[in-house]
A and B are shown apart, each in its own frame.
Chain A
Amino acid sequence: MAHPFITLFTPHPHNNHKAKILQPRSIVILIGLFIMGRSIVDITIGLKPGILGYASQIDPGKVVELTNKERLNAGVSVVKINTELNQAALAKATDMFEHNYWAHISPTGTEPWYFVTKSGYNYQHAGENLARDFSNPKDIVAAWMASPTHRQNLLDDRYRDIGVAVMDGYINGVETTIVVQMFGSTKTSIAKVASTKVTNTAYAEEVPEKLIPESGLSPLDLSRAWSLAFVVLILFALSLDWIFVLRYNIIRISGKTWAHLTYFIGLAIILIIIRQGIIL
């Protein structure tokens, strides 16, 4: 009698020359297990918000610095940190968490410009970029630059000022980090900009230091690990199957192991390169 591990992972006369884990019935079980695992994570998030949280330590100053770096690379003048726009960005982030939404316009119809005006910033031009679930500022700015509309906002030469807010909170029961980037220009700032030298060092005084979040376990990391575990398991079984079929020249009615391997290697690469964050 063959050892169950052998019949589970390698072709053998007892499993009709195909590893049990790669047989249709087992794949159906794997699909069920995957859905079950994901459901447990989702239900946990729904029932006990905060047990699995996502929070990161993003430095708003770094977001400004990287934004200005991109603007300089594009030959556009840098933007200066503005206290009112910082307040507007903070108010927008607070509003999103309070009213549980993720959009430029709130469910009650409040537009981003409401927060800009309310902060006391008398804008002539204004723009807003949003990001959530990113773990570092570099990925945020890279994602904005990769999107034509966000890129246009980020590199708009009309803007002279910037405000950035980073805030942790809960949206649909999931702890997340939202980044609000607001651009603006007033009539006066346009007139003064030619003689303004901008440095980012002032930002540290304007924005309070972010505290390290208490919750370290991210549902996003857990989901990625869960997905990767399944892909690794399948790749392991397929690799063993491929070696055995080649070595023992096994002939059977089956799909091509090399094709399955190609598909799952591709999926493994995709799982690794996928960025979790969303921009809006």
Chain B
Amino acid sequence: MKKPLRSILDYLILSLIVSLAIVLILFFNGNKYYQQITIIGLSILYIVWGIIHHLKEKSLHTRVALEYALFALLGSLIVIGLLK
């Protein structure tokens, strides 16, 4: 598969993951426990997506993985903080 097309497919997958999380959050409105699990799941998948994407592009670096992990941690804290 050509690189730009592969990249588009990767971003499409990420968009689908985020969209699914939004739908699940809506579905679980009123149930904070399941909403917290959804956010943690989204953040883990986001890190995994980042690592796989950069592996495929041969641009994976510790610093890059750390960046995804820190963004995921910040994002999770921001939303879970609201669901306490």
Q: Footprint of B on A, CB under 8 Å?
A: 24, 27-28, 30-31, 34-35, 38, 143, 146-147, 223-224, 226-227, 230-231, 234, 253-256, 258-260, 262-267, 269-271, 273-279
Contacts and interface: CB of A to CB of B under 8 A. Distances in A.
B18 A263 contact: yes
Do most interface residues of chain B lie in helix, strand or loop, or is the interface mixed?
helix
Given A143-B29, A253-B61, A275-B30, A223 B50 contact: no
16 contacts: A30-B74, A31-B73, A143-B30, A146-B29, A147-B30, A223-B84, A231-B78, A234-B74, A253-B63, A255-B68, A259-B50, A263-B18, A266-B18, A271-B79, A273-B29, A278-B32
A10 B78 CA distance: 23
B64 interface: yes
Contacts of B27: 146
Nearest to A230: B78
A227 B66 contact: no
A223 B84 CA distance: 10
B11 A259 contact: yes
Most buried by A among B59, B63, B66, B71: B71
A224 to B, nearest CB: 6
A85 B11 CA distance: 55
Contact of B75 (A255, A256, A264): A264
B11 A258 contact: yes
Interface size class of B (residues with CB under 8 A): 35 or more
Contacts of B73: 31
Interface of B: 11, 14-15, 18-19, 21-22, 25-27, 29-32, 35, 39, 42, 46, 49-50, 53-54, 59, 61, 63-64, 66-68, 70-75, 77-79, 81-84
Contact of B74 (A34, A258, A266, A279): A34
A270 B25 contact: yes
Given A147-B30, A259-B46, 7 more contacts: A34-B77, A223-B82, A227-B81, A230-B78, A256-B54, A260-B71, A270-B22
Given A34-B78, A38-B81, A262-B11, A256 B63 contact: no
Contact of B18 (A35, A224, A262, A276): A262
Given A24-B66, A259-B50, A227 B82 contact: yes
Do most interface residues of chain A lie in helix, strand or loop, or is the interface mixed?
helix
A269 B22 CA distance: 7
A147 B27 CA distance: 9
A31 B74 CA distance: 6
Nearest to A28: B70
B30 A255 contact: no
Contacts of A256: 50, 53-54
A27 B70 contact: yes
